[in-house]
């Protein structure tokens, strides 16, 4: 049994018909690293290549000191010998076995490596004590993913590969699973790669992020750093766009029901969340449609959150009635979606000082 | 009551054939279900040939291959001292060829039904391919496996042409039920022919009922 592994390096070329995934990265294996991108950006292909389920056309995968795959030396460690655990989007429980049978399948084959993970602890951590004797057929979607998570842990993996485990679940099931996914990797000390196309899931679960777009890495680093600079616009689902920006909690006003924050010297108030201790840095998600722009600080207005900034970029498309304005605020940036008519009328241009009026913001994590 | 010798011989032949064919067909069906080789259609066609060829054709070629002057037949004689033609061993070989599609096709479709999902899941739980096959794929293919064995057994019992070609009609060696019926009719011993024929009819009917109860959705896949 080797000690904690510090990094995963891959330089890969994967081809599927017209699609081409070309990557050359080293991931620090520390907590949860999100692999984020639109569907079709190559996230799952990358995860399957790391697991050994698909064979890259060319390249090299190194986990710590172990070379898992190398086309130069014709080395390819079989998937079941890599010691990676894979949580599939569709759970893939074994229907001929009970819940306990599924867990025992993994437990037996793990050789009980890493006594840090005890059977009882996993069952307790995934809340499965009452489900052990149940058949797979009668489980809800959320329960299935919990069984799959427990089963994966009991294989005592050295690396967790989470492939959109929340996609396809309804809202209630997502809420049910989310705390387990957030706590389990840290609790059992297993680094994880978490594939998702949902920025809210990513901000809730990950501390590092690798952004994939069209088969290439467009950003990689600590979640906060990447989100400050990343243009989320093209990566979010169609029709919505927005930005994430960091602010510091300065206090709570229970009488008014607000939590006060500081963003680059500007005070903000958000709906009260007393769990956030003072001094903590939080990420806020701002929908671009909820941001209005003014060229002078407006008076007599109900909007409380008014942020001074400078226009960094203007994106418009002749086929659409609106334009997206990227406004630099402190170290971060906000995206505002306004009509092209307003853009012309206000005479907005790059470098202009403006005020961003934010109607609603929400805590992203 | 007719002589029960042919009945016992038929049951023995069917049992031996089913066991041996299962061992041979498991890897073949798994390969057919999972391969992306360009030779897959060829292998599938070869497997399905006994469904469409007249038993006399199969019997004729087996006779040529298994007779003591041919390499396979000669090898068998040198190993066992007995011939493959006109012997029980030869009937087993003939039955394996003749019943091959009845074992392979239900297994193949059961394996295809399981798909690669559970196999990948097993691999990620540290199970080798063989481990995954025996502990995940086979248990999930149980209905297909039982269907394959029942059909193979029944089809072997019902074999006539191949047996006649390579086995002839030797009591206690190659004289199975279908051959015995043929001979009774030739000799105009209709009472004995009735006993055996009615027995076969009831047997075949019960087997088919069992297969359909077992798996209502299974359909014969013919070439």
Q: pLDDT tens-digit profile of A51-71?
A: 999 989 899 999 998 999 999
Mean pLDDT value across residues A28-47 = 88
Answer whether residue A83 is part of any domain. Answer: yes
Same domain for A153 and A259? no
Percent of chain A with pLDDT over 90: 35
* Homologous superfamily in CATH for domain B7-179: MetI-like (1.10.3720.10)
In this complex, the residue of B120, B131, B139 whose CB is nearest that of residue A96 is: B139
Q: What is the pLDDT of residue A2?
A: 42
CA A31/CA A6 separation, integer angstroms: 11
Q: What is the pLDDT of residue A88?
A: 94
Interface membership of B128 toward A (CB under 8 Å): yes
Check residue A143 and give left, alpha or beta (phi > 0: left; psi -120 to 50: alpha).
alpha
Whether residue A85 and residue B131 make contact (CB cut-off 8 A), yes or no, is no
Residue A19 has pLDDT above 90, yes or no: no
Please give the C-alpha separations between residue A171 and each of A141, A142, A176, A250, B210, in angstroms, as whole numbers: 11, 10, 9, 32, 45
Query: Residue A341 corresponds to which tokens in the numbers above?
Result: 């008519």
Q: From the CA of B127, how many Å to the nearest CA of chain A?
A: 6
Site from A51, A80, A84, A91 to mutate, B interface, most B CB atoms within 10 angstroms = A80
Do residues A293 and A336 lie in contact, with contact meaning Cβ atoms separated by under 8 Å? yes
Q: What is the pLDDT of residue A115?
A: 66
Which range of residues forms the domain containing residue A215? 7-230
Same domain for A79 and A219? yes
- Give the domain-ending residue among A230, A257, A285: A230
Q: What is the pLDDT of residue B215?
A: 67
Handedness of CA B209, B210, B211, B213 (dihedral sign): positive
Check residue A162 and give left, alpha or beta (phi > 0: left; psi -120 to 50: alpha).
beta
Report the alpha-carbon angle B209-B164-B16, nearest 5.
Answer: 55
Q: What is the pLDDT of residue A178?
A: 84
Answer whether residue A158 is part of any domain. Answer: yes
Residue A239 has pLDDT above 60, yes or no: no
Mean pLDDT value across residues A107-113 = 82
SS3 of B64, please?
helix
Q: What is the pLDDT of residue A59?
A: 92
Using CB atoms within 10 Å of the CB of residue A229, give its burial: 0 to 12 exposed, 13 to 18 middle, 19+ buried. Answer: exposed
Do residues B96 and B21 lie in contact, with contact meaning Cβ atoms separated by under 8 Å? yes
Do residues A166 and A198 lie in contact, with contact meaning Cβ atoms separated by under 8 Å? yes
Domain count, chain A: 2
Q: From the CA of A82, how many Å to the nearest CA of chain B?
A: 8
CATH of the domain at A326: 2.40.50.100
**What rounded mean pLDDT belongs to chain A?**
86
Using CB atoms within 10 Å of the CB of residue A270, give its burial: 0 to 12 exposed, 13 to 18 middle, 19+ buried. Answer: buried
Whether residue A92 and residue B139 make contact (CB cut-off 8 A), yes or no, is no
Minimum mean pLDDT range among A223-227, A277-281, A303-307, B33-37 = A223-227
Site from B110, B115, B124 to mutate, A interface, most A CB atoms within 10 angstroms = B124
- Give the domain-ending residue among A230, A263, A281: A230
Same domain for A175 and A61? yes
Whether residue B126 and residue A83 make contact (CB cut-off 8 A), yes or no, is yes
* A250-255 long-range Cβ contacts below 8 angstroms, 24+ apart: A250/A278, A251/A278
Whether residue B125 and residue A83 make contact (CB cut-off 8 A), yes or no, is no
Interface A-B: count of C-beta contacts within 8 A: 64
Better-predicted residue by pLDDT, B17 or A274: B17
Do residues A253 and A260 lie in contact, with contact meaning Cβ atoms separated by under 8 Å? yes
Do residues A247 and A257 lie in contact, with contact meaning Cβ atoms separated by under 8 Å? no
Same domain for A158 and A213? yes
Looking at beta carbons, which residues of chain A come within 8 Å of B139? Answer: 96-97
Answer whether residue A2 is part of any domain. Answer: no
Q: What is the pLDDT of residue B109?
A: 95
Residue A40 has pLDDT above 90, yes or no: no
Looking at beta carbons, which residues of chain B come within 8 Å of A93? Answer: 121
Q: From the CA of A86, how many Å to the nearest CA of chain B?
A: 6
Using CB atoms within 10 Å of the CB of residue A265, give its burial: 0 to 12 exposed, 13 to 18 middle, 19+ buried. Answer: exposed
Whether residue B123 and residue A85 make contact (CB cut-off 8 A), yes or no, is no
Q: What is the pLDDT of residue A1?
A: 38
Q: What is the pLDDT of residue A3?
A: 47
Same domain for A51 and A193? yes
Q: What is the pLDDT of residue B219?
A: 42
Strand duo A266-271 + A258-263: pairing: antiparallel
Answer whether residue A1 is part of any domain. Answer: no
Kindly report, residue by residue over A330-362, the tens digit of the pLDDT: 878 888 888 888 888 888 889 999 999 998 777
Residue A33 has pLDDT above 80, yes or no: yes
Answer whether residue A290 is part of any domain. Answer: yes
- Give the domain-ending residue among A201, A230, A259: A230
Query: Residue B145 corresponds to which tokens in the numbers above?
Result: 């496996």
SS3 of B55, please?
helix
Same domain for A221 and A256? no
Q: What is the pLDDT of residue B221?
A: 36
Same domain for A347 and A266? yes
Same domain for A291 and A226? no
Q: What is the pLDDT of residue B164?
A: 86
Do residues B161 and B59 lie in contact, with contact meaning Cβ atoms separated by under 8 Å? yes
Q: What is the pLDDT of residue A281?
A: 81
Looking at residue A279, the DSSP 8-state letter turns out to be T
Site from B126, B128, B139 to mutate, A interface, most A CB atoms within 10 angstroms = B126
Same domain for A86 and A201? yes
Domain locations along chain B: 7-179
Query: Residue A350 corresponds to which tokens in the numbers above?
Result: 């790059």
Cβ of A193: how many Cβ atoms within 10 Å? 26
Mean pLDDT of successive 10-residue stretches along chain B, which has 223 residues: 79 94 96 94 94 92 89 87 86 93 96 94 95 95 91 90 85 85 90 90 88 62 31
Same domain for A298 and A174? no
Please give the C-alpha separations between residue B166 and each of A251, B53, B101, B223, in angstroms, as whole numbers: 95, 16, 20, 25
Same domain for A220 and A282? no
Same domain for A263 and A356? yes
Q: From the CA of A53, how many Å to the nearest CA of chain B?
A: 7
In this complex, the residue of A80, A111, A152 whose CB is nearest that of residue B127 is: A80
CATH of the domain at A103: 3.40.50.300
Q: What is the pLDDT of residue A181?
A: 86
Residue A47 has pLDDT above 50, yes or no: yes
């Amino acid at each position: 049994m080797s000690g904690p592994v510090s990094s995963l390096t891959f330089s890969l070329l994967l081809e599927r018909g017209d699609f081409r995934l070309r990557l050359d990265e080293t991931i620090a294996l520390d907590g949860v690293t999100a692999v984020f991108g639109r569907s079709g950006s190559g996230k799952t292909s990358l995860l399957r290549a790391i697991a050994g389920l698909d064979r890259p056309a060319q390249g090299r995968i190194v986990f710590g000191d172990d070379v898992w795959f190398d086309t130069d030396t014709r080395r390819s460690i079989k998937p079941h010998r890599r010691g990676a655990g894979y949580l599939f989007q569709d759970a893939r429980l074994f229907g001929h076995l009970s819940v306990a049978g599924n867990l025992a399948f993994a437990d037996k084959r793990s050789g009980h490596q890493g006594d840090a993970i005890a059977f009882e602890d996993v069952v307790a951590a995934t809340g499965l004590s009452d489900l052990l004797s149940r058949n797979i057929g009668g489980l809800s979607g959320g329960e299935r993913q919990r069984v799959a998570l427990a089963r994966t842990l009991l294989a005592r993996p050295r690396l967790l590969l989470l492939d959109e485990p929340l996609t396809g679940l309804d809202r209630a099931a997502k809420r049910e699973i989310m705390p387990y996914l957030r706590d389990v990797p840290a609790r059992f000390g297993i680094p994880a790669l978490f594939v998702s196309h949902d920025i809210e899931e990513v901000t809730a679960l990950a501390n590092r992020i690798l952004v994939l777009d069209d088969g290439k890495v467009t950003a990689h680093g600590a979640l906060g750093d990447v989100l400050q600079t990343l243009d989320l616009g093209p990566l979010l689902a169609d029709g919505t766009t927005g930005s994430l920006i960091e602010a510091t909690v300065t206090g709570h006003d229970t009488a008014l029901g607000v939590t006060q924050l500081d963003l680059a010297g500007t005070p903000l108030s958000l709906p009260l969340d007393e769990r956030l201790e003072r001094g903590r840095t939080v990420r806020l998600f701002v929908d671009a449609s909820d941001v209005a722009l003014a060229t002078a600080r407006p008076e007599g207005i109900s909007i409380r959150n008014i942020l001074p900034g400078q226009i960094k970029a203007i994106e418009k498309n002749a086929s659409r009635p609106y334009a997206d304005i990227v406004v630099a605020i402190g170290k971060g940036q906000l995206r505002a979606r306004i009509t092209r008519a307003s853009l012309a009328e206000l005479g907005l241009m790059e470098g202009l000082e403006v005020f961003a009026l934010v109607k609603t913001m929400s805590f992203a994590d | 009551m007719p002589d029960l010798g042919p009945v016992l011989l038929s049951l023995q032949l069917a049992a031996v054939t089913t066991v041996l064919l299962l061992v041979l067909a498991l890897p073949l069906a798994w390969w057919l279900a999972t391969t992306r080789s360009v030779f897959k259609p060829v292998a599938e066609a070869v497997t399905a040939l006994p469904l469409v060829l007249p038993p006399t054709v199969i019997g004729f070629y087996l006779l040529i291959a298994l007779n003591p002057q041919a390499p396979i037949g000669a090898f068998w004689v040198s190993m066992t001292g007995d011939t493959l033609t006109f012997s029980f061993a030869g009937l087993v070989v003939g039955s394996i060829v003749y019943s091959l599609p009845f074992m392979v096709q239900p297994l193949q479709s059961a394996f295809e039904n399981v798909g690669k999902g559970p196999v990948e899941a097993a691999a990620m739980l540290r199970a080798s391919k063989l481990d995954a096959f025996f502990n995940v794929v086979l248990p999930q293919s149980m209905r297909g496996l039982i269907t394959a064995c029942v059909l193979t057994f029944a089809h072997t019992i019902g074999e006539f042409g191949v047996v006649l070609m390579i086995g002839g009609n030797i009591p206690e060696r190659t004289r199975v039920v279908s051959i015995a019926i043929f001979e009774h009719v030739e000799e105009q011993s209709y009472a004995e022919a009735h006993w055996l024929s009615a027995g076969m009819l009831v047997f075949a009917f019960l087997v088919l009922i069992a297969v359909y109860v077992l798996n209502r959705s299974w359909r014969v896949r013919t070439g």
